[in-house]
Amino acid sequence: MSIQVSTSPAGYAQGPEKKGRKHILCIDDNLDTVEILGLSLGSAGYRVTTAVDIADALTLVNNLVFDLIILDGAFPDGDGFYACGEIRKHTPETPIVFLSALAFISDIEAGIAAGAQAYLVKPVELDVLQKTIARFVK
């Protein structure tokens, strides 16, 4: 199983839980990406949970509450557009931000049509990602 709850890279908890921290789910099959997101977003004060496949991500969405979801576009067990639609069935209000290397206009349109609020193309500057998150997480 590849579910990881962390505020630091790839599943290592860092420090005590703090009340009021916004909880972000990062779903990406690339371990380097989830490690970078865990470090960056954890340092920015977010509580970060990661998943590296769609099956684990959907389990998390069904069992935990998130303030925002960051979602890749392609996984070995399916595509992010399908995952986005499934996530929307369980949590219609949670903002979803695609962070994907799928960069065609049709990919971006598919992500938004599936229910995402924003679509960022990899590679992305971390400050751009954090500003995008800040638009949806107050």
Per-residue pLDDT of the chain (138 residues; tens, 9 = 90+): 444 444 333 343 333 455 689 999 999 999 999 999 999 999 999 999 999 999 999 999 999 999 999 999 999 999 999 999 999 999 999 999 999 999 999 999 999 999 999 999 999 999 999 999 999 998
The rounded radius of gyration (Å) of the Cα atoms in the chain is 13
The encoded tokens of residue 72 equal: 């890749």
Q: Give me the torsion for CA of 93, 43, 132, 59, rounded to 10°.
A: -30
Q: Give the predicted TM-score (pTM) of the model.
A: 0.87
Name the residue range of residue 119's domain.
Answer: 4-136
State how many domains the chain has.
1
